[in-house]
Homo-oligomer: A and B are copies of this chain.
C-alpha cells in the first residue's frame, strides 16, 4: 500500500499589523512576519501551517522542497531525519538571546510537520487531535496576555498603519505604562475575550514599576484570577530573588526572571515559588540540564520551535514523568498557529495551565470565516478533518502584499526601539 504523495510545497511570507508592544529587547514593529506553508498532495488535498516569518527560515524552507516534494506526509520520522542529515550542520543555528527562538531548521521541520498532520487528518477524515492520541478536553483555555505599549494601535509613532484593520487590537489605542493602565488593558481584554487568567510581559520598566503593576492586578482581579509575570530574563539572580519575594503569594508562576538554567535554579531554590520558562529550556537537548539543576517547574512549549505537534506531545509526557507543568508560549500569530496549538493542547493530558497567545493583539486573519472566536477565554477544539480550517486566498494575497510593501525581512524589535529612543540598547541583564 502506498500513501499520499506531496507534489507541491507553497511558501507565502505575510506581514500582519502588530501594535507597538514593548518587551525586553525593544518594541514590536508595525508588522509582524509569519510564513504560511501549503503542502499539496497528488490527490489535490492541501495541508497548511503557519510559523514565525523570517527570510532565513523561508530560504531554508525553499531549499527543503527537494526533500518534501515526492514524500509521503505520514513519513514524519523520515522527513525529519532527512532534513537534519541534509541541513543539520548549518552554522549559527542557535536559539540566540531574544525572547523568541532563532533556530532555522527546527522551525522548518515544525512548519512541515503541522502541514503534514493537517494532510494526514484530511486523508484519514479525522481531526489532528485524534492523530495525537485523542482529545482530553473539548475547549482549550487561554490567558489574557498584557503588554506594556506606547500609544496607538500600529507602529512606534502611534499612527494606525492599516486603515482596514478592525477588532479589539485595532481599536486599542491606549498607552499602557503605569499600573493603572495595565489594569485597564486587562479589563478591556477580559471584557472582549472572557479570559480568566493574566500574564504581563515585563522586563521593560524598572522592577519596582512592574511589581507594582502585578500588585495592582492582584488587587483589581482578586485571588480567583491566576497571575503570571514574565521579565524575559533581564533580571540578575539577585534582582530576581529580591523582587520575586515581593511577588510571593500573588503569582501562579514567575516566568524567566533571569537567564540560563543555573541562574533559574538558584532563583527557584531561593524563592520556593513556581518558575516557568520558554527561554532556558527550549529544546530536548536542554532537558537533562533542566532535570539535573531543577531550573523550572513549568515548561512553556511552542510547537514552532520544539519540532511540531508530536514533539510537543512527547514534551508533555516528559513533563508528566518528571512532575513538571506544561503550558504554551506564543508570538504574534494568526489562526492557523492558534488552531494547531488548540489541537495539540487538547491532546496533552497534563496541560493544565491556560495557554499564552498574542492572538488578541492581531486584527487580520488568513483563514476562511475570519477571526477565531474565544468563548470565556477558550477556543473550541475543531471536529473537522485535519486542522479543520482552510485558507482565505484573498486575505493570503493581501497579507503577502503587506509583506512585500513593508520591507521587513526578519524580526528586529531593537532597531524599531531605536527609532523612538536612538540611545536605547539591548542588555541581556538590565537590572
Chain B residue contacts of A127, Cβ below 8 A:
1
The answer to whether A76 has its CB under 8 Å from any CB of chain B is yes
The answer to whether A216 has its CB under 8 Å from any CB of chain B is no
Whether B385 pairs with A126 at a CB distance below 8 angstroms is: no
The answer to whether A310 has its CB under 8 Å from any CB of chain B is yes
Whether B81 pairs with A349 at a CB distance below 8 angstroms is: yes
How many copies of this protein are present in the complex?
A: 2
Encoded as 1 (CB less than 8 Å from any B CB) or 0, chain A from 61 to 78 comes to 000000000001011111
Give chain B nearest CB distance to A317 CB in angstroms: 4
Closest residue on chain B to residue A73 by CB atoms: B134
**How far, in angstroms, from A183 to B272 measured CA to CA in the complex?**
59
A1-B349 in contact given A77-B133, A322-B288 (Cβ < 8 Å): no
Whether A1 pairs with B385 at a CB distance below 8 angstroms is: yes
- A77-B133, A123-B124, A314-B317 given. 16 additional CB < 8 A pairs? A1-B127, A1-B383, A3-B130, A72-B134, A74-B130, A75-B134, A77-B134, A78-B134, A124-B124, A133-B310, A287-B321, A287-B322, A288-B323, A317-B317, A317-B318, A318-B321
The answer to whether A157 has its CB under 8 Å from any CB of chain B is no
Say which residue of B78, B126, B136, B322 sits within 8 Å of A78 (CB atoms).
B136
Chain B residue contacts of A74, Cβ below 8 A:
126, 130, 134
For window 207-244 of chain A, which residues contact chain B by CB distance below 8 Å?
A: none
Name 12 interchain pairs, CB-CB below 8 A, sorted by A: A1-B385, A75-B130, A76-B134, A77-B349, A78-B136, A81-B136, A81-B349, A124-B126, A284-B320, A284-B321, A291-B291, A317-B317
Chain B residue contacts of A385, Cβ below 8 A:
1
**How far, in angstroms, from A288 to B323 measured CA to CA in the complex?**
9
The answer to whether A125 has its CB under 8 Å from any CB of chain B is yes
